[in-house]
Amino acid sequence: MFERFFPDEYVASTYVIPFEKLYAEGYRGVIFDIDNTLVPHGAPADERAKKLFRRLNDIGFSSCLISNNQEARVKMFNREIGTRYIYNAHKPLTKNYIKAMEIMGTDRTNTVFVGDQLFTDVWGAKKAGIRNILVKPIHPKEEIQIVLKRYLEKVVLHFYKKGLKNKKD
């Protein structure tokens, strides 16, 4: 019942993802959500985010940000990152995941998506046929509509983790 929302992977942080390994596996593009995926909600790019995008560039990845935020927010974050972006993306609709791949020159087989929300980020990536990685939110301060969705996410993640445990047994 909840499987449509299950992430392909679930990790503690964007900053622990082995991007070199993903590149070796043939991935060439990474699509990122911003808030609570790369920085706390509403924050500018910090040193850790800047370092990550330099690393991705050095590895050879193309990148693109897709956010449901308005352009001013996305532009402010991207000022020192300098990657491509799509704002007001209407995730989980798939059209902007597809547009991001077109911008990067990648496709469903060699693109990975990284985000912190199941019902927008992960579900949209899954519907678009993109490998996805769910990360734990960076900071608990969020807008009220996201706080409410987090309660439902806890239920889905309970069944996701239970399924992983059953596979191991």
Residue count of the chain: 169
Kindly report, residue by residue over 29-86, the tens digit of the pLDDT.
Answer: 999 999 999 999 899 999 999 999 999 999 999 999 999 999 999 999 999 999 999 9
> What average pLDDT score do residues 94-108 get?
98
- Phi, psi dihedrals of residue 134, rounded to the nearest 5°: -90, 135
Task: Using the predicted structure, report yes or no on whether residue 144 has a pLDDT greater than 70.
Answer: no
Kindly report, residue by residue over 107-121, the tens digit of the pLDDT.
Answer: 999 999 999 999 899
Model pLDDT, residue 160: 81
Beta bridge partner(s), residue 111: 29
- Phi, psi dihedrals of residue 49, rounded to the nearest 5°: -65, -45
Task: Using the predicted structure, report yes or no on whether residue 122 has a pLDDT greater than 80.
Answer: yes
3-state SS string for the chain: CCHHHCCCEEECCHHHCCHHHHHHCCCCEEEECCECCCECCCCCCCHHHHHHHHHHHHHCCEEEEECCCCHHHHHHHHCCCCCEEECCCCCCCCHHHHHHHHHHCCCCCCEEEEECCHHHHHHHHHHHCCEEEEECCCCCCCCHHHHHHHHHHHHHHHHHHHHHHHHHC
Model pLDDT, residue 103: 97
Kindly report, residue by residue over 5-24, the tens digit of the pLDDT.
Answer: 899 999 999 999 999 999 99
Query: Rounded to whole angstroms, how far apart are CA atoms 164 and 155?
Result: 15
Model pLDDT, residue 157: 79
Model pLDDT, residue 161: 81
Kindly report, residue by residue over 20-30, the tens digit of the pLDDT.
Answer: 999 999 999 99
pTM, two decimal places: 0.88
Model pLDDT, residue 9: 96
Model pLDDT, residue 145: 64
